[in-house]
Amino acid sequence: MMRIGVTTEIPEKLQAVREAFAAAFASAAIEVVACPADSGIPHGQPWGMQHTYEGALARLQNLKAKTETKDFTHLVSVENGVCALLRHDSTPAFDVACVIVEELATGKEQMSFSQARPYPLAAVQELKRSGTPNEAIGSFCQQWYEEQTLPLSRGEQIRSTCALVLAMLKPAAPGKRPQEAADLREPVAGLACKEPPRKVLKGSSSAFAEGGKVEHLVLEAAPYELSSFDLTAAIRAVDECFAGLENLDGFEELHLEEPAVKNWLEDRSVKTSMKELNFLKRNLLKLECTIHEVKLDRDQCTKRYEMKAPGSHFLDIFKRSGIVRKDVDRIAAIIEKITSYLNIVTCSCHATEGASVLDQLAASLREIFWADAEKLDKTYQTLVYEWLPGEAKEAAEEEARRGLRVFMESQTGSQGVGASTFSGQTSWSSRVPRTLRFTRCL
């Protein structure tokens, strides 16, 4: 269960935050709690980006000062402000939203601004001069936006910006180039599906609508990345689930009422569930090997070995690893059970990270396998790059200190990052970590 405190009680803003978190954490139960907090702005309207940010920050600080936050996983502050542009003949103005998200477990905080939309400054100033109260001015603005029928609503401003901030909170892989870390753009329109999938799992981050259209929440949040360390964490999550089921083998009846066990055994036996986990793990191992088989060329600017290709190449990599369309529903169902299981039981932080990786992987597979290849090539690109040796070793040592064994012998007998998490001593491998990246075209 994720519990998010939001510094507003406006339904449109609360719903926008809820949708952003639901897309980012597809398998988690999301509860959004209204926690109204003062912005510290006496007249109620922030002007300019600095003032808008300070209003959002003040709301966040006032929420923490006056509300018990230990039961929350995240705090979100939202503030809309007006930015004016001075011209010789007029003063056009624009409404922007500032969103700040704080991850309470780590203390990390990120913020960003939304895309701007026009604001009826001249009309509002006239109302203010005539003594119209702020509440009536707010009603006027709401009606004005309804009449404009703009493609960008306040809710969409907040939803897309919150999604962006959540993506920024995700730890960046060591060695990522600055321009890649900053490559977070506004969402684009969803891509048309060739055909709808056979079924949609409850809690999936892909919402399919009538007419074969799909709301591509993962594609909208591009860039999406899958590194060697991500795969290691994902395999760790699978291993912890496997170990839990292995302990139950032969004793199922004694534990059937436990929620974590009931979740696994509602429609299958322990042995069948263990086979499903092995199926997923084999696919993760083969995916890692496929990523490392991609031929890279040295980039003269970055001095890094990399490969750039059109967006549909991202799908080709999964296909070459043996994952085909008919397997997507099966993989997504296994992942959903893993994330549900790890939400209930006590597990390591590495398994929790791995569950998040798996969750995003399932959502990506569901969207990519039904997206139109031509539109993928037009809008997106695929990048596979190799970490620089110093960066890779530093990251590996940090993961080793945290207890995550990432350099182990794979089932094929080769040494590789994230190839396995079986017991053994951590050893440095000659195989350099890689990252598979799916992003929008520049």
Confirm whether 430 is domain-assigned: yes
Answer with the residue of higher pLDDT: 400 or 83.
Answer: 83
Q: Are residues 104 and 212 in the same domain?
A: no
Q: Which domain holds residue 132?
A: 2-169
In this structure, the number of other CB atoms found within 10 A of the CB of residue 142 comes to 12
CATH number, residue 70:
3.90.950.10
Q: Are residues 417 and 298 in the same domain?
A: yes
Residue in the structure block whose two tokens are 């003062």: 38
Q: Are residues 150 and 229 in the same domain?
A: no
Answer with the residue of higher pLDDT: 74 or 67.
Answer: 74
Q: Are residues 130 and 16 in the same domain?
A: yes
Total domain count, the chain: 2
Q: Are residues 347 and 426 in the same domain?
A: yes
Q: Are residues 249 and 159 in the same domain?
A: no
Tens of pLDDT, residues 253-295: 434 455 545 555 555 667 788 888 899 999 999 999 999 999 9
Whether the link from the prior residue into 310 is cis, omega within 30° of 0, is no
Identify whether the C-beta of residue 354 lies closer than 8 Å to the C-beta of residue 226.
Answer: no
User: pLDDT confidence of 110, banded at 50, 70, 90?
Assistant: very high
Q: What local confidence, expressed as pLDDT, does residue 343 receive?
A: 67
Q: What local confidence, expressed as pLDDT, does residue 255 receive?
A: 43
Q: Residue 19 pLDDT > 80, yes or no?
A: yes
Confirm whether 188 is domain-assigned: no
Confirm whether 175 is domain-assigned: no
Q: What local confidence, expressed as pLDDT, does residue 199 receive?
A: 32
Average pLDDT over residues 178-190: 36
In this structure, the number of other CB atoms found within 10 A of the CB of residue 21 comes to 23
Tens of pLDDT, residues 375-419: 888 888 898 988 876 665 666 665 555 554 443 333 333 333 333
Q: Are residues 240 and 389 in the same domain?
A: yes
User: pLDDT confidence of 15, banded at 50, 70, 90?
Assistant: very high
Residue in the structure block whose two tokens are 């999938």: 197
Identify whether the C-beta of residue 339 lies closer than 8 Å to the C-beta of residue 358.
Answer: yes
Burial class (CB in 10 A: 0-12, 13-18, 19+), 106: exposed
Tens of pLDDT, residues 210-224: 333 334 445 555 577
Q: Output b/e per residue, 47-57; b: 16+ Cβ within 10 A.
A: eeeebbbbbbb
Confirm whether 338 is domain-assigned: yes
The residue among 113, 145, 169 that closes a domain is 169
Confirm whether 191 is domain-assigned: no
Q: Are residues 10 and 153 in the same domain?
A: yes
In this structure, the number of other CB atoms found within 10 A of the CB of residue 432 comes to 19
Answer with the residue of higher pLDDT: 290 or 301.
Answer: 290
Name the percent of the chain lying above pLDDT 90.
Answer: 22
Q: Which of 157-171, 278-292, 335-349, 408-422 is predicted least confidently?
A: 408-422
Torsion angle, alpha carbons of 237, 314, 307, 23, to 10: -60
Q: Are residues 116 and 213 in the same domain?
A: no
Q: Are residues 139 and 263 in the same domain?
A: no
Average pLDDT over residues 334-356: 71
SS (H, E, C) the chain: CEEEEECCCCHHHHHHHHHHHHHHCCCCCEEEEECCCCCCCCCCCCEHHHHHHHHHHHHHHHHHHHCCCCCCCEEEEEEEEEEECCCCCCCCEEEEEEEEEEECCCCEEEEEECCCEEECHHHHHHHHHCCCCHHHHHHHHHHHHHHHCCCCCHHHHHHHHHHHHHHHHCCCCCCCCHHHHCCCCCCCCCCEECCCCCCCCCCCCCEECHHHEEECHHHHCCCEEEEHHHHHHHHHHHHHHHHHHHHHCCCHHHCCCCHHHHHHHCCCCHHHHHHHHHHHHHHHHHHHHHHHHCCCEECCCCCCEEEEEECHHHHHHHHHCCCCHHHHHHHHHHHHHHHHHHHHCCCCHHHHHHHHHHHHHHHHHHHHCCECHHHHHHHEEEEEEECCHHHHHHHHHHHHHCCCCCEEECCCCCEEECCCCCCCCCCCCCCCCEEEEEEECC
Distance in angstroms (rounded) separating the CA atoms of residues 422 and 42: 60
pTM for the complete prediction?
0.47
Q: Are residues 294 and 417 in the same domain?
A: yes
Tens of pLDDT, residues 111-154: 999 999 999 888 888 888 888 888 888 888 888 888 887 888 88
Confirm whether 346 is domain-assigned: yes
Q: Output b/e per residue, 394-407; b: 16+ Cβ within 10 A.
A: ebbeebbeeebbbb
Q: Are residues 154 and 227 in the same domain?
A: no
Mean of the per-residue pLDDT values of the chain: 75
Residue type, 57: L
Confirm whether 181 is domain-assigned: no
Confirm whether 348 is domain-assigned: yes
Q: Which of 21-25, 139-143, 174-178, 401-405 is predicted least confidently?
A: 174-178
